Amino acid sequence: MIERTIARRYASALLALADQAKAVEAVETELLQIEGVWKSSADFRKAMTHPLIARQDKKTFFRQVMPGMSKLVADFLDRLIETGRANCIPEIAEVFDDLADRYAGIVRMTVETAVPMSDAQKAKLQGKLTSLAPGRKIEIDAKVTPELLGGVRVRIRDSVIDGSVAGRLHGLRELLTSTMR
């Protein structure tokens, strides 16, 4: 929880700097690339968080691994390393991605169904969701989750709207077990 709060502060500060530089999308792309390297390489994570590796060596290593970084992102990462917050890089990238989407008026959602949706169904759903959020661009990530049995489950950031058969059955089970106690 504390790391998420710290990540939000750093991501918000970076968004303000990126906005001033008119580079929000470019910074978002760079951070997501860095997050990808962080998550895929245990050696990279170890080098960036090891307490016996000098901070200057970490900065040099970072530049070798990510040679095309913009000055804004490189300076930001230097600051994270200096303050001992390199371990927050994945969370900062995640929060920045969310903040940049909000800044751009994009709402990303995951739509889970028991069977694949047709293109017509996706277009119809996107149209309905767009009418509910005027002025926003809706991006849908459709996933098939057979365990849902039927219906749909929509995830928007941290919110879940569960209209699936499995969700309704779970709710019914909870209701029955709570009344039988």
Residue 89 confidence (pLDDT) above 70: yes
Residue 181 has pLDDT above 70, yes or no: no
CB atoms near residue 161 (< 10 Å): 13
Q: pTM of the full predicted structure? A: 0.73
**For residue 179, what pLDDT is reported?**
75
Distance from chain centroid for Cα 8: 12
Q: Are 14 and 96 in contact (CB under 8 A)?
A: yes
When the pLDDT of each residue in the chain is averaged and rounded to a whole number, the result is 89
pLDDT above 90 coverage of the chain, percent: 51
Q: Say if residue 162 is exposed, middle or buried (CB neighbours under 10 Å; 0-12, 13-18, 19+).
A: middle
CB contact at 8 A, 152 and 163 = yes
